[in-house]
A and B are shown apart, each in its own frame.
Chain A
């Protein structure tokens, strides 16, 4: 049976994992390679690393992290943050990532999606989109860029459809309203976009309890769910979350996970 994926998100700044609330107040929480290995051993399905420094001279640090992750972790992982050209994409893919995530730069230059998909295949190109509730937009949600700082004129639903046409293979949909709250995913926008596109949609922002994952899979039709804080601080574990989801009838990969704690 096709499984719902649980993806752990690691924000990486200057080679360290950090975690913030609503994109602000980041603190270091560990070595990304070590953390990635621990999640891999616990049975996570996929990882995503966001380079939140993303200044040109520090990009090399991230490439080194990517290469070290690739050597020890045998599940797919994506890298995002500051990716603006096919050269940026190529560097990350050559270092061993399966996917690259484009966000602000794709809004500024949508052709990067098309060029990346043409060169590396749609399966490599993930569109990350940050959305904010806004009743003045046709779908009720506005796309914001630059880590939530810059509003755009783009409607969330329209941008998702356009990105799919351009060749994006997956969408990571992050709700700024929910991000960092640990009060649950934004189910309305997740369901709206998941039903509107033919590519997988990864829900992001707001996960705090295993019930939130159940809701976003069962009610909002997400294909995958991104989590961070709820596992980074040890409140929950990957096996614990998966056991709960399995008990709620959500198909998850249980290989290697003992049926009881």
Chain B
């Protein structure tokens, strides 16, 4: 029995409130914490966030949350990274040349400058599932999710890619390996399908 089951990790990355209200609506019991001791003991963690990679990593390291999260992942606790939380699980971000958590191999790169392609990628876009995955149970391939980001993840292990999205380039909008799940979009702001995805994560 874990002291605390679900911990939403508070590392000053904004939009915590949206994740909280979505979890409350789903009836998920959670605590919000930035305390590495609480995170370390979590049954599962949600790492939300809208933010800038270097600033986020700074807070995670300063508080020892990077190591606490690593412990959770290494002992098999389900981990859901959302938006910047998705990008941080890879090794490196081009956003201010930042070394990130490195739970999975890969990097985060900026959208190319293309005529007519507005950055940030902000709005609803189709998420094409490349294989069946429990995270997308009950969600049709191509369903729209809400995105807000200027950088996108490039996981090195192609077999970890669960879904892709096209925005100037085709990128991995959801990837997963073992107990680690990462989505570039915001399920907490993606209407009924977004709530379903969160529910799926908590049912794993």
Q: Which residues does A use to contact B, with CB under 8 Å? A: 1-3, 5, 40, 43, 45, 70-72, 74-76, 93-96, 98, 120-124, 169-170, 198-200, 223-224, 253, 255-256
B104 within 8 A of A: no
Contact of A71 with B25 in the complex, beta carbons under 8 Å: yes
CB nearest to A77 among chain B residues: B189
Query: Besides the contacts A3-B123, A98-B189, A121-B52, what 5 more A-B pairs have beta carbons closer than 8 Å?
Result: A5-B124, A75-B190, A95-B17, A120-B14, A124-B14
Are A255 and B191 also in contact (CB < 8 A) when A1-B126, A2-B125, A123-B120 are? Answer: yes
Contact of B143 with A199 in the complex, beta carbons under 8 Å: no
Contact of B51 with A75 in the complex, beta carbons under 8 Å: no
A-B contact pairs, 29 of them (CB 8 A): A2-B121, A3-B124, A3-B126, A5-B123, A40-B191, A45-B123, A70-B17, A70-B21, A71-B21, A74-B21, A74-B191, A74-B194, A74-B195, A76-B148, A93-B14, A96-B18, A123-B120, A123-B122, A124-B14, A169-B120, A169-B122, A198-B118, A199-B118, A199-B120, A223-B118, A224-B123, A253-B124, A253-B144, A256-B193
Residues of A close to B58: CB separation below 8 A:
none
Residues of A close to B193: CB separation below 8 A:
255-256
Interchain CB contact (< 8 A) of B25 among A72, A93, A169, A255: A72
Are A121 and B118 also in contact (CB < 8 A) when A74-B189, A76-B146 are? Answer: no
A17 to B24, CA, bound (A): 27
Residues of B close to A123: CB separation below 8 A:
50, 120, 122, 148
Residues of B close to A76: CB separation below 8 A:
146, 148, 186, 189
Contact of B146 with A75 in the complex, beta carbons under 8 Å: yes
Per DSSP, chain B at the interface is mixed
Are A1 and B125 also in contact (CB < 8 A) when A255-B144, A255-B191 are? Answer: yes
A142 to B52, CA, bound (A): 35
A3 to B185, CA, bound (A): 14
Per DSSP, chain A at the interface is loop
A-B contacts, CB under 8 A, total: 92
Within the complex, what minimum Cβ distance (angstroms) separates B76 from chain A?
Answer: 29
Are A170 and B122 also in contact (CB < 8 A) when A2-B167, A98-B18, A253-B144 are? Answer: yes
Contact of A96 with B189 in the complex, beta carbons under 8 Å: no
B166 within 8 A of A: yes
B10 within 8 A of A: no
Interface size class of B (residues with CB under 8 A): 35 or more
Contact of B191 with A198 in the complex, beta carbons under 8 Å: no
Contact of B144 with A3 in the complex, beta carbons under 8 Å: yes
Residues of B close to A5: CB separation below 8 A:
123-124
A5 to B186, CA, bound (A): 16
Contact of B15 with A98 in the complex, beta carbons under 8 Å: yes
CB nearest to A43 among chain B residues: B191
Residues of B close to A96: CB separation below 8 A:
17-18, 21
Residues of B close to A71: CB separation below 8 A:
21, 24-25
Within the complex, what minimum Cβ distance (angstroms) separates B143 from chain A?
Answer: 5
Within the complex, what minimum Cβ distance (angstroms) separates B140 from chain A?
Answer: 8
B87-125 toward A: CB 8 Å interface, digit per residue (1/0)? 000000000000000000000000000000011111111
A113 to B72, CA, bound (A): 38
CB nearest to A40 among chain B residues: B191
A255 to B166, CA, bound (A): 18
Are A74 and B190 also in contact (CB < 8 A) when A95-B17, A96-B17 are? Answer: yes
Residues of A close to B18: CB separation below 8 A:
70, 96, 98
Within the complex, what minimum Cβ distance (angstroms) separates B192 from chain A?
Answer: 6
Within the complex, what minimum Cβ distance (angstroms) separates B96 from chain A?
Answer: 14
Within the complex, what minimum Cβ distance (angstroms) separates A104 from chain B?
Answer: 24
Within the complex, what minimum Cβ distance (angstroms) separates A64 from chain B?
Answer: 14
A103 to B67, CA, bound (A): 43
Within the complex, what minimum Cβ distance (angstroms) separates B23 from chain A?
Answer: 11
Are A122 and B120 also in contact (CB < 8 A) when A71-B25, A74-B195 are? Answer: yes
A45 to B189, CA, bound (A): 10
